[in-house]
């Protein structure tokens, strides 16, 4: 797949944190810098020395145009690449809240469009991205998108675009939930007498380590929880609070994820 990109070239529209992380991954994977065209009104300093085509005229028929701008910048960004519609170029979007239909309108009929939802751990190569394509997308298109997005982490395929709202609520917004968990664990540690620096260090390392253990383990998270919970011990005492069905984690996270999913639907309707 990278050979095809090297021959035909690819375009990256928007090179902020997410776009920059992906570009860095592609270059490390062996994609020639001369095969990449980047359009960004405020490019990071390292791009000028990367050997890519920065804000230059675009090729006529690149293999892929990846849209990585914020939704509010879409109106200015899409006209620059709209001529690539029609089928010769795969359009991949990582823009939150922008449905496939919006890109079909911008690029015209016959255009293969893949909508992707990565999350912020992509910046350190530990993200997960969900993808779904329109009816013009082939297996070859999906494989190409998977290879590109694998540069920043795992990739999963969805069965229906409607699932994207739930994906947004779980993995797209999910890192913020984890960051808040770290905040609140550290604050609770302070309340029990730890210094702020020590409490934060303990909370960060605990969440990062537990996440790595959960990802690598053969057991499911429920079994891992049981493994570290001694009967009538300290962990059980805490879990009796956290697992309360009325105001513990189960009810709280259902409400939080539900709120995020509803807002994702609203944003898509506003588009």
In terms of domains, do 219 and 184 share one?
Answer: yes
- Number of separate domains in the chain: 2
Of 49, 50, 99, the closest CA to residue 74 belongs to 99
CATH classification of the domain holding 133: 3.40.50.720
Range of the domain at 73: 2-163
The DSSP annotation for 97-141 comes to T--HHHHHHHH-TT--EEEEE--GGGGGT-EEEEEEE-TT--HHH
Check the annotation: does 68 bind a ligand. yes
- pLDDT for 30 equals 87
Q: What is the distance between the alpha carbons of residues 75 and 81, in angstroms, rounded to a whole number?
A: 11
- pLDDT for 74 equals 84
In terms of domains, do 15 and 123 share one?
Answer: yes
- pLDDT for 271 equals 58
- pLDDT for 70 equals 84
Check the annotation: does 69 bind a ligand. yes
- pLDDT for 3 equals 77
Check the annotation: does 250 bind a ligand. no
- pLDDT for 62 equals 94
- pLDDT for 254 equals 96
Give the strands of the sheet with 36-39, arranged side by side: 53-54, 36-39, 10-13, 64-67, 90-93, 113-117, 127-133, 153-157
In terms of domains, do 70 and 187 share one?
Answer: no
- pLDDT for 109 equals 87
- pLDDT for 84 equals 93
In terms of domains, do 159 and 180 share one?
Answer: no
In terms of domains, do 93 and 215 share one?
Answer: no
Mean pLDDT by 10 residues, the chain (271 residues): 81 92 88 94 92 93 93 84 92 90 92 95 92 96 94 95 95 96 98 98 98 96 96 96 94 96 82 58
The structure's pTM equals: 0.90
In terms of domains, do 39 and 120 share one?
Answer: yes
Q: Given the DSSP bridges, would you call strands 90-93 and 113-117 parallel, antiparallel or unpaired?
A: parallel
């Amino acid at each position: 797949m990278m050979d095809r990109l090297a021959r035909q070239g690819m375009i990256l529209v928007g090179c902020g944190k997410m776009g920059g992380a992906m570009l860095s991954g592609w270059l490390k994977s062996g994609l020639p810098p001369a095969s990449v065209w980047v359009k960004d009104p405020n490019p990071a300093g390292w791009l000028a020395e990367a050997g890519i085509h920065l804000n230059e005229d675009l090729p006529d028929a690149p293999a892929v145009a990846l849209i990585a701008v914020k939704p509010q910048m879409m109106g200015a960004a899409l006209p620059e690449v709209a001529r690539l519609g029609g089928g010769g170029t795969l359009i991949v979007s990582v823009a939150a809240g922008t449905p496939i239909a919006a890109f079909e309108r911008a690029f015209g009929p016959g255009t293969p469009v893949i909508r992707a939802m990565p999350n912020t751990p992509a910046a350190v190569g530990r993200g997960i991205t969900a993808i779904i394509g329109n009816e013009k997308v082939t297996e070859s298109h999906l494989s190409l998108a998977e290879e590109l997005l694998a540069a920043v982490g795992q990739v999963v395929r969805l069965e229906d675009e409607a699932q994207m709202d739930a994906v947004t609520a779980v993995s797209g917004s999910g890192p913020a939930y984890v960051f808040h968990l770290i905040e609140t664990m550290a604050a609770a540690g302070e309340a029990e007498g730890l210094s702020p620096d020590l409490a934060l260090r303990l909370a960060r390392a605990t969440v990062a380590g537990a996440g790595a253990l959960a990802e690598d383990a053969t057991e499911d998270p429920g079994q891992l929880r049981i493994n570290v919970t001694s009967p009538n011990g300290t962990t059980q005492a805490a879990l009796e609070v956290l697992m309360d069905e009325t105001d513990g984690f189960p009810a709280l996270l259902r409400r939080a994820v539900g709120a995020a999913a509803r807002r994702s639907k609203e944003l898509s309707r506003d588009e």
